[in-house]
Chains A and B, each alone.
Chain A
Amino acid sequence: MSILIYADSSNGHLTKNAFEAANYASQLAQKTGDKAVAVVTGNVSGLDQLGKFGISKVLHVANAELNNFDPQKIAHAIAEAAKAENSSVIVFAHDYSGKSVAPFLAAKLDAGLVTGAIALPNTDGGFTVKKSVFSGKAFAEVEVLTPIKIISVLPNAIAKIENNVTAEIVDYTVSLPSTNLKVKEIKKESSELSLTEADIVVSAGRGLKGPENWGMIEELAHVLGAATACSRPVADIGWRPHHEHVGQTGLAIRPNLYFAIGISGAIQHLAGVNGSKIIVAINTDAEAPFFKAADYGIVGDAFDVVPKLIDAFKKFKAANN
C-alpha cells in the first residue's frame, strides 16, 4: 500500500504547499508502514527535492496538456496513479489547486474527503482527521468511512520534519480524457508574495483612512519579507484589491505572524486569521476586540507606530544578518 500526494507546481517549480503535503504524507506513512509516493503534473523541475520530506517515488506525468491547470485531467492522472500504487490515502494541500482537484478525485474514487486538515489522522480503531470548521472558530474530528481516504492539509498547520530519502523519479504516462476547458491566459502578479503561503502577513484596515496611506504598510511588509492583506471594508470600498481581503468571506490564512493595523477585529475578520500563530494588534482604540485575540498589542496611532516599527525592524534585520 502507499500514501499518495499531489505535489502542485507554479511556474515550473514545486510549491511550498507541495512540500507540506509531502511532509504530511511521509509522517503518516511512517506511522502506517507504507511508502510515500508523489504525483507531479506538467513541466516541473527539482522533483528530487521531494525526497527531503520522505517521498521515495515521484510519478512525473509530463504531458504537455497538463502544463495548464485542468482539474478534470489532473484528477484522472492521480486516479490512475492511485490504482497503480495501490494507494489507501491521497493527500493534497488545501490551496487553490487542492480545492479544485480533491473533490473531483473523491467522487471519482467514491472516497471520503476531509478538507482543511490540521493534524495527522488518528488511525487507532478507525480513521479520523481533525479539521478546522466554522472558519477557524472550532475544530471537528471527522471519521472517513470509505476504503480510500482523501485529505487536504491546511497550509502552515503541520510542523515540518525532514526525513531524507532518495526519490526515484519515474516518467509516468497516462492517456488523458479530452475536456471542454481551455486556459486562455494566466495573469501573474509574480512580484507579490502569495498570501496563503507567507510566513508573515501585514494587514491593515479602515484605520488607515485612505488608500494613499498604504505605502508604510507595504514598506513594513517589505522589511519583514511579508505579504500584505486587508479587512473586508477596505476591499469593498476599493482601497485594496479583493484578493487581499482576509476574513470569513475572504481568504482564511494562518501565518506564523500576523499584524493587524487599524482593524477593529470584527468576528468575521477574526474567523479568517485566528489560526495565525502570533497576532500583533495595533489600534488607537484600547477597547478594539482585536486585542482580545492578540498576543501582543500596541494602543496607538498607526501613523505614529508603523514608521517607528519600520525603523526598529530595519535595525533588527541589520543587526541579525
Chain B
Amino acid sequence: MNKILVCISKAPDTTSKISFADGNTKFDENGVQFIINPFDEWFALVRGLELKEANGGNVTVLNVGGADNDPIIRKALAIGADDAVRIDAKTDDALYVAKQIAAYAKQNSFDLLLFGKETIDYNGSQVAGMVAELMNLPYVSLASKLDMNGNNATIEREIEGGVEVIETSTPFILSAAKGMAEARIPNMRGIMAARTKPLTVVPAFEATNSTKIKSFTMPPAKSSCKYVDAANVEELVSLLHNEAKAI
C-alpha cells in the first residue's frame, strides 16, 4: 500500500508548430493544443496506477500552473488517478517549480514521487532531481523499470551503453523513461468519474526564480536537399567525403 505522487507537466502537443510571440520572448500558444507531457503520462502516471492496482494505495497527481492546466489534470484523473492537486504558481524556472513541489510533498508524506524524465518543451530534465535534493531523498533518473515488493524497490535505469539495476526503499523519487509502462487511453467511465474526483488548488509557496528566458530563436533553415541517383551511390560517398567532410 503506497501513497504515490505523480507530478505532471503541461506540454504542447508533439505535432505543434513551434513559433514565438512578443519579439521572440514568449512561446506563441495561439492554436496550440496542450497535452500532459508524454513522459509524465505514459510512463510515470501509468506505472503509478499499475502499482496501485497490484498493491493497493493511492495515486495523487500534482501539477504546478494556472487554471488553464485543469483540462490536462482532469485527463490524468480520467486515466485513473484518485485525486489531484494544482499548485497555483508560475512555471518559468525549474528550481522554482521544484521548490513548490518539495514544499507541498513535505507537508503530505508520500512513499513514491514519480516524474517523467523530461518535458518535451524545455527539455530540462531538472525538476525531479532538484526535488530529491530539497527533500533529501534517493533519486533514480531515467528509469525504465520499477518493481515494488512492499516498501522495497528494484529499479532499472538506462546508463551509457547499458542498464543499471538499483535497489532502494520508500520514500524515493524516480524519473521515468520509455519501457516503464504502456500508454493508456481513458475510457468513458474514467472520463465521467474524473468530473467528480477532487482537484484541490493550493497557493504558491514563497520562492524566487534562478533563471529567466530572455529570447527564443529558430534554427537556420536547411538548404535544400541534394539528390543522388540510386544507381550512383559512389557519388554520395564522394559528397560526404569531399563536400560535407563527414567521413
- Interface of B, secondary structure class, is mixed
Compute how far the CA of A293 lies from the CA of B224 in the bound complex, rounded to whole angstroms.
8
Query: Within the complex, what minimum Cβ distance (angstroms) separates A120 from chain B?
Result: 16
Compute how far the CA of A105 lies from the CA of B132 in the bound complex, rounded to whole angstroms.
10
Compute how far the CA of A265 lies from the CA of B44 in the bound complex, rounded to whole angstroms.
27
Known: A113-B211, A143-B211. A187 touches B162 (CB 8 A): yes
18 contacts between A and B (CB under 8 A): A69-B159, A96-B159, A103-B132, A106-B126, A112-B210, A138-B219, A140-B214, A140-B217, A144-B210, A181-B167, A189-B162, A242-B144, A257-B246, A271-B120, A295-B225, A296-B227, A297-B225, A300-B230
B55 within 8 A of A: no
Known: A189-B161, A296-B240. A184 touches B166 (CB 8 A): yes
- Among the 9-residue stretches B2-10, B57-65, B67-75, B134-142, the one with 4 or more Cβ atoms under 8 Å from chain A is B134-142
* 8 Å CB contact of B39 from A146, A249, A308: A249
- Among the 9-residue stretches B12-20, B105-113, B188-196, the one with 4 or more Cβ atoms under 8 Å from chain A is B12-20
Collect the chain B residues with CB atoms within 8 Å of residue A140's CB.
122, 213-217
* 8 Å CB contact of A316 from B98, B211, B237: B237
Which positions 222-270 of chain A face chain B at CB distance < 8 Å? 224, 235, 242-243, 245, 248-250, 252, 256-257, 267-268
Which positions 157-208 of chain B face chain A at CB distance < 8 Å? 158-169, 172, 178-179
B38 within 8 A of A: yes
Which of A107, A114, A315, A320 neighbours the largest number of chain B CB atoms within 10 Å of its CB?
A: A107
Q: Does A296 contact B225, Cβ atoms closer than 8 Å?
A: yes
Known: A138-B18, A224-B247. A274 touches B179 (CB 8 A): no
Compute how far the CA of A320 lies from the CA of B238 in the bound complex, rounded to whole angstroms.
12
Q: Does B211 contact A145, Cβ atoms closer than 8 Å?
A: yes
- Interface of A, secondary structure class, is mixed
Q: Does A143 contact B219, Cβ atoms closer than 8 Å?
A: no
Compute how far the CA of A136 lies from the CA of B220 in the bound complex, rounded to whole angstroms.
12
Query: Within the complex, what minimum Cβ distance (angstroms) separates B113 from chain A?
Result: 14
**Nearest neighbor of B118 in chain A, beta-carbon distance:** A99
Compute how far the CA of A202 lies from the CA of B225 in the bound complex, rounded to whole angstroms.
18
**Nearest neighbor of A300 in chain B, beta-carbon distance:** B230
Collect the chain A residues with CB atoms within 8 Å of residue B131's CB.
107
Chain B residues in the interface with A (C-beta under 8 A): 12, 14-15, 18, 20, 38-39, 42, 93-95, 98, 117-118, 120-134, 138-142, 144, 154, 158-169, 172, 178-179, 209-219, 222-223, 225-230, 233-234, 236-237, 239-241, 244, 246-247
Collect the chain B residues with CB atoms within 8 Å of residue A143's CB.
211-214
Which 4 A-B pairs give the minimum distances between C-beta atoms? A103-B129, A300-B230, A112-B210, A107-B133
A175 within 8 A of B: no
- Among the 9-residue stretches A33-41, A127-135, A208-216, the one with 4 or more Cβ atoms under 8 Å from chain B is A127-135
Q: Does A116 contact B123, Cβ atoms closer than 8 Å?
A: yes
Collect the chain A residues with CB atoms within 8 Å of residue B39's CB.
249
A142 within 8 A of B: yes
Collect the chain A residues with CB atoms within 8 Å of residue B125's CB.
94, 99, 103, 115
Collect the chain A residues with CB atoms within 8 Å of residue B228's CB.
296-298
Collect the chain B residues with CB atoms within 8 Å of residue A97's CB.
159-160
